[in-house]
C-alpha cells in the first residue's frame, strides 16, 4: 500500500482502503439480503426449506475445508486490472478496496464467504446483511494496519508470507465453523 | 480451489476431531436455542462466519 507519497500519509491511505473495503462488503450483504427478501415476499414459506438446503451445502463445504472431499468454491478468477489502480494515491486505494471488498468479483479461497452470502439471502434481513457484510469487509481490511510494524519492503513481504503461513489452520477453523453452522441450520428449526 | 495441502495438516485424527467438534458445537447451539428464535442464533453464527471469512481471506492473498 505504500507508494511514493510521504510516509506519514500512509495511515490515511490504509484507512481509505479499509473504509472502501468495509462499505463494499456492506453493499454486497445488502444486495444478497434484499434479493432474499424479494424471494420471501413471493414465496413466504421458502425460508425453512432454503435453510435446510443451505445446511446440506454448508456441511459439504465443511468437509471440503477439512479435506475430506474436494469441491470447487464458487467465485471468479478475475483480478483488478493494474491500470485501474495506477493513478491517484488515495483513489487507487479506494478502487482497490471496493473491488476486493465486495467479495464477489475476485477469487474466493475459503467457503465461508459463499455460505455467508447464501445465508444472507435466505435470511432476507437487510440490516443483518449490511452489518454482516460490513463485518466481513472490516475484518478482511484490518490486517493492512499490521504493515505499520514493518519498515521496508522486505519486512512487508515477510509479513505477507507469515499471514499466508496461517492458511492451513484457517481452512481448518473455517471447516469447524461451517460444520457447526450446518448442524445448527439442519436441527435448530425443528427443536421445540 | 483452495491451496491447502494434506502435507500441512498434522493428521487424520485432527481433521476428524475438528469435524466432530464442529458438529457437536452446532448441535449444542441448536439445543440451546430451543424456545428462542432459531433465526436469531443463525444470525449470530452468520457474524462468526463473517469474521472468519474476512480474516481467512487475507491469509490467502
Asked whether the whole model's pTM tops 0.95, one would answer no
> Which residue in B6, B50, B52 is closest to A67 by CB distance?
B6
Nearest to A181 among B1, B39, B49 (CB): B49
d(CA A27, CA A130): 7
Cell of A161: 508470507
Mean predicted lDDT score pLDDT of chain A: 89
Encode pLDDT of B2-58 as tens digits: 445 555 556 788 899 999 999 999 999 999 987 678 899 999 999 999 999 999 987
Residue A136 in this model has a pLDDT that exceeds 90: yes
- pLDDT given at position A8: 65
How would you class A6 by CB atoms within 10 Å of its CB: exposed for 0-12, middle for 13-18, buried for 19 or more? exposed
For residues A98 and B2, which has the higher predicted lDDT (pLDDT)?
A: A98
Contact call for B49 and A63, based on CB within 8 A: no
The C-alpha cell of A96 is what?
482497490
Report the pLDDT value the prediction gives residue B7, as an integer from 0 to 100: 52
Residues of chain A contacting B4 with CB distance shorter than 8 Å: 67, 167-168, 171
Q: Which of residues 1-60 of B touch A (CB under 8 A)?
A: 1-6, 8-9, 14-15, 18-19, 21-23, 25-27, 29-31, 33-35, 38-39, 41-43, 45-60
Q: Which three cell numbers stand for residue B9?
A: 495438516
User: What is the rounded CA–CA span in Å between residue A175 and residue A142?
Assistant: 22
pLDDT digits 0-9 by tens, A72-93: 998 888 888 888 878 888 899 9
Chain B: closest CA distance from residue A98 (Å): 14
Provide mean pLDDT across the span A133-146.
Answer: 90
Neighbour tally for A94: CB within 10 Å: 19
Distance from CA of A168 to the nearest CA of B (A): 6
The pLDDT > 90 percentage for chain A reads: 62
Q: Residue A53 and residue A44: Cα distance in Å, rounded?
A: 16
CA distance B43 to chain A (A): 7
Q: What is the ipTM of this complex?
A: 0.88
A42 touching chain B per CB within 8 A: no
From A61, A62, A80, A70, select the one nearest A17 (Cα to Cα): A80
Q: Most confidently modeled of A10-19, A72-81, A161-170?
A: A10-19
Between A10 and A35, whose confidence is greater?
Answer: A35
How many Cα atoms are found within 13 Å in the side-chain-facing hemisphere of A31? 10
Whether B19 sits inside 8 A of A68 (CB atoms) is yes
Asked whether the beta carbons of residue B2 and residue A64 sit closer than 8 angstroms, the reply is yes
Q: How confident is the model at residue A51 (pLDDT cuts 50, 70, 90)?
A: very high
Q: How far is A164 from chain B (nearest CA, A)?
A: 5
What local confidence, expressed as pLDDT, does residue A7 receive?
Answer: 62
Three-state DSSP at A56 gives helix
User: How many beta-carbon pairs below 8 A join chains A and B?
Assistant: 193
CB contact (8 A) between residue A176 and residue B27: no
**pLDDT category, A9, cuts 50, 70, 90?**
confident
Contact: A167, B48; criterion CB under 8 Å: no
Amino acid at each position: 500500500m505504500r507508494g511514493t507519497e510521504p510516509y506519514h500519509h500512509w495511515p490515511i491511505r490504509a484507512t481509505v482502503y479499509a473504509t472502501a473495503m468495509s462499505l463494499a462488503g456492506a453493499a454486497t450483504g445488502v444486495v444478497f439480503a434484499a434479493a432474499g427478501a424479494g424471494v420471501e415476499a413471493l414465496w413466504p414459506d421458502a425460508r425453512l426449506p432454503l435453510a435446510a438446503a443451505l445446511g446440506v451445502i454448508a456441511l459439504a463445504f465443511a468437509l471440503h475445508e477439512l479435506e475430506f472431499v474436494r469441491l470447487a468454491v464458487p467465485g471468479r478468477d478475475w483480478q483488478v486490472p493494474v491500470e485501474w489502480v495506477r493513478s491517484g494515491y488515495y483513489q487507487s486505494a479506494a478502487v482497490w478496496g471496493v473491488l476486493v471488498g465486495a467479495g464477489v468479483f475476485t477469487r474466493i479461497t475459503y467457503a465461508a464467504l459463499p455460505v455467508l452470502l447464501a445465508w444472507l439471502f435466505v435470511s432476507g434481513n437487510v440490516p443483518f446483511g449490511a452489518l454482516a457484510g460490513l463485518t466481513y469487509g472490516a475484518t478482511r481490511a484490518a490486517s493492512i494496519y499490521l504493515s505499520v510494524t514493518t519498515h521496508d519492503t522486505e519486512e512487508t513481504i515477510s509479513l505477507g508470507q507469515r499471514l499466508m503461513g496461517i492458511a492451513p489452520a484457517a481452512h481448518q477453523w473455517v471447516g469447524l465453523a461451517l460444520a457447526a453452522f450446518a448442524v445448527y441450520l439442519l436441527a435448530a428449526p425443528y427443536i421445540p | 480451489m483452495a491451496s491447502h495441502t494434506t502435507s500441512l495438516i498434522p493428521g487424520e485424527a485432527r481433521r476428524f476431531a475438528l469435524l466432530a467438534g464442529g458438529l457437536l458445537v452446532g448441535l449444542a447451539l441448536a439445543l440451546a436455542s430451543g424456545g428462542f428464535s432459531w433465526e436469531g442464533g443463525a444470525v449470530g453464527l452468520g457474524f462468526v462466519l463473517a469474521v472468519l471469512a474476512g480474516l481467512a481471506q487475507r491469509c490467502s492473498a
